[in-house]
Amino acid sequence: GDSVTQMEGPVTLSEEAFLTINCTYTATGYPSLFWYVQYPGEGLQLLLKATKADDKGSNKGFEATYRKETTSFHLEKGSVQVSDSAVYFCALRAASGGSYIPTFGRGTSLIVHP
């Protein structure tokens, strides 16, 4: 079945450092790929998405490129801020029998120190 693997956290960085959170996936067909962010005590917020190979999703300084050849969708940001501290989830959505079944990774916690 479909699956998403994220790097284990927590990832601890100083403010203004470069961020990479790795995400690889296994899926049949051509899934759409997503990054969600979850702040403490809240639900998930969509951060960015890409729907086909070589698409780059971007939002709030975060970027991720859909790499079909490596089945990856790594999240990057050039300069993190304390306010970026949260849990980040990589997810895919693939068509299955006429419905769209989403699959999430386990999440990677990011802690940014001043």
Partner 1 sequence: ETGVTQSPTHLIKTRGQQVTLRCSSQSGHNTVSWYQQALGQGPQFIFQYYREEENGRGNFPPRFSGLQFPNYSSELNVNALELDDSALYLCASSSRDRGFQETQYFGPGTRLLVL
Q: Phi, psi at residue 82, to the nearest 5°?
A: -55, -35
d(CA 47, CA 70): 22
- Look at the alpha carbons of 41, 47, 50, 56 in this order and tell me if their dihedral is positive or negative: negative
Q: Using CB under 8 A, which residues numbered 39 to 78 contact partner 1?
A: 42-46, 49
User: Is residue 29 within the footprint of partner 1 (CB under 8 A)?
Assistant: no
d(CA 72, CA 66): 6
* Per rule CB under 8 A, count of chain residues that contact partner 1: 24
User: Is residue 31 within the footprint of partner 1 (CB under 8 A)?
Assistant: no
User: Is residue 99 within the footprint of partner 1 (CB under 8 A)?
Assistant: yes
User: Is residue 20 within the footprint of partner 1 (CB under 8 A)?
Assistant: no
Q: Which residues bind partner 1 (CB under 8 A)?
A: 4, 34, 36, 42-46, 49, 89, 91, 93, 96-107
